[in-house]
Amino acid sequence: MLETRGLTVRFGGHVAVNDVSCSFAPGTLTAIVGPNGAGKTTYFNLISGQLKATAGTVSLDGQLLSGQSASARTRAGLGRAFQLTNLFPNLTVLENVRLAVQAAREGAHRRGLNLWSIWSDHRALTERADQILAEVALKAKEHATVASLPHGDQRKLEVALLMALEPKVFMFDEPTAGMHAAEAPVILNLIRALKKDRTKTILLVEHKMDVVRELADRIIVLHNGQLVADGEPSEVIASPIVQEAYLGLPAAGAEDASRHATAPIPAFPRAGEGATP
């Protein structure tokens, strides 16, 4: 169980994440929604340790992670998509994924200089890396250098590296943002497959409401850094706060509110994004 208690971060006078207490159980995909600037990415950064909290705690399976480095949290099982700046741009896609697999299996490599063991490990690592690259449809690019990849392939590679870590908790922050429509299904299928493995905890920040509706077991809503709604997807989507604050519809209780309850839910508008989905 991943848990945040009173998690808060202040930037000067601005409280970007404000006293968020929430638990995330294995086998559950929780969608985190809210308008631009609501604090969703900042919440992820506080959980993963990229950012230091002003107050509050993060724990995983009862182990307190607050105060630990981002890499210690990764070892504890928190999987945040790598930022490509952490990669080796001049190594190939396959080499990078193999290094990530190796990092995750570090323990298995403390056997001294046994050449047979090193060779067979190397083969096993390559096989696992190959398998992951097939899952994210990047096999054809395995010998390309990371620096040469187009944007969509870079996003796939981020997910591949996350898979390589075999974490307990998968954190996806708009995993298909900026991808061509034809490429997004690869990532969504992977998330569907992860969901079937009922042991994983999945957190998904997503603006596309059709994706949220399909995948989420639960939705939480952040607004001005605060947790303002939490529950079963259809209830949260129909709740007055979501209807009013994000969809510009009249609050429940106002005349005709029920008329809108079954209206199609558009994606949350994003800054700098045109009308095309």
Could you list the residues that contact ligand ATP (CB under 6 A)?
11, 16, 34, 36-42
Q: Considering the complex, what minimum distance in angstroms separates the CB of residue 34 from ligand ATP? A: 6
Range 37-56, binding Mg ion (CB under 5 A): 40-41
Q: Considering the complex, what minimum distance in angstroms separates the CB of residue 160 from ligand ATP? A: 22
Q: Considering the complex, what minimum distance in angstroms separates the CB of residue 256 from ligand ATP? A: 29
Task: Select the binding partner of residue 36 from ligand ATP, Mg ion, none (C-beta < 5 to 8 A, by kind).
Answer: ligand ATP
Paired tokens of 179: 């991808």
Whether the Cβ atoms of residue 25 and residue 60 lie closer than 8 Å to each other: no
User: Which of 129, 169 has the CB closer to Mg ion?
Assistant: 169
Cβ neighbours of 49 (radius 10 Å): 22
Paired tokens of 158: 């981020």
Neighbouring residues of 7: CB distance < 8 A, sequence distance ≥ 6 = 17, 19, 20, 21, 43, 46, 47, 53, 55, 56, 57, 58
# chain residues binding Mg ion, by CB under 5 A: 2
Residue 54 φ/ψ, nearest 5 degrees: -75, -35
Q: Considering the complex, what minimum distance in angstroms separates the CB of residue 36 from ligand ATP? A: 3
User: Which of 40, 195 has the CB closer to Mg ion?
Assistant: 40
Strand order from edge to edge, sheet including 29-33: 78-80, 169-173, 201-205, 29-33, 218-223, 226-231
User: Which of 95, 206 has the CB closer to ligand ATP?
Assistant: 206
User: Which of 33, 190 has the CB closer to ligand ATP?
Assistant: 33
Query: Which residues in this chain contact Mg ion in the complex, by CB under 5 A?
Result: 40-41
